[in-house]
Amino acid sequence: MKTFVAGVATTKFGELWSASPRGLARLAVFGALKDADIDSKDVQALFVGNMLSGMLGGQEHLGAFFAEELGLSVPAFKIEGACASGGLAIHNAVNSLMSGQYETVVVLGIEKMTDHKPEDVATALMGAGSEEERLAGATFPGLYAILARVHMREFGTTEEDMAAVAVKNHYHATLNPNAQFHTAVTVDQVMRSSKVADPLKLLDCSPISDGAAAVVLSTKRTKRSVEVIASVVATDTLGLAQRKSLTELSATQKASEKAYTLAGMDAKDIDVAEVHDCFTIAEILATEDLGFFPKGKAASAIQRGSATIGKAKRVVVNPSGGLKGCGHPVGATGVKQIAELVEQLRGNAGARQVKKARVGLAHNVGGSGATAVVHILEI
């Protein structure tokens, strides 16, 4: 059974003080239904990707919550997998279609984070870490700083190399009307920004964000449909201390290897990718683990500007601005990645359009790599 993305929509990402979760959900879902040119009565199930609604908002029952708000009297499910919640929601929706259970479903990814104190958000996010890490007082900037230090030691990666990731993704974000940030930054500005967890600085880190994204998935092909040719999930240990290597995320490697096999292609066939750059080092790790660059070579390639829109000989990475420039409302990110790829493959991405994009890859991570979701789409 083939699965297609029929419609997509993304709200503005950012500090959306006047927006409610209900309002964001309506904008995203009804926007996606309009894009798919179908009526809500044709929707047979709703999948909601969200991480923090229970810890921050006191509401865990999001399937029924949003089904009621959207007027959908259908089976509805909340899917949680830390920052990979959106990607996992897509994966579960794809599987439900492939099983023959449904013909048309909606996936909503949503998060409202800025209404809460930063320290409360940081504590809630660490729910995705191991017990030992929480007891030690670790945060995700600290955990990714450890990954950065090891990568720097083993491959000579520099702080300037990581800063170049932020420069690229902020530039891409200036071309995306829905992005949180529309200001370009320089390597010097990244280097001079305040340290969060050495060597990571403020401008190495994705922001706290609000936002929603939705996709309509169907077994029916239309003229504007984009096919989902692979949907794979892999896992690793929650904590860093239990891993064999800190210079790779094995869940990403496993998920991408299987996805390439299912799609009948490999990394060189990908034209455009949305990868999980929660921190600048995360994009470096991802592009190596996905096979776009040999291990230890991604940082210097990004520094040389080999991922510039429209000029890359290699895959173009994070044309939306990624998590770093577009924003990271955690439950929405994995769904936004799919929406961005669909716009790219349709040729509707405007100023950020990747030329001749035919195959796209989405990479969504939960925690410090405990969960990885990889989707491959083809027009």
Q: Examine the residue annotation and report whether 328 is marked as an active-site residue of this protein.
A: yes
Query: Which 3 state secondary structure label does DSSP give 212?
Result: strand
**Count of beta carbons in the 10 Å neighbourhood of residue 129:** 22
Q: Examine the residue annotation and report whether 170 is marked as an active-site residue of this protein.
A: no
Query: Which 3 state secondary structure label does DSSP give 79?
Result: strand
Peptide bond between residue 141 and the one before it cis (omega within 30 degrees of 0): no
Under DSSP, the state recorded for 103 is S
Select which of 276, 328, 363, 375 is catalytic. Answer: 328
DSSP annotation string for 1-18: --EEEEEEEEPPPB--TT
CB 345 within 8 A of CB 357: yes
CB 162 within 8 A of CB 284: yes
Token couple for 251: 């869940």
CB 235 within 8 A of CB 268: no
CB 303 within 8 A of CB 161: yes
Q: Which residues are catalytic?
A: 83, 328
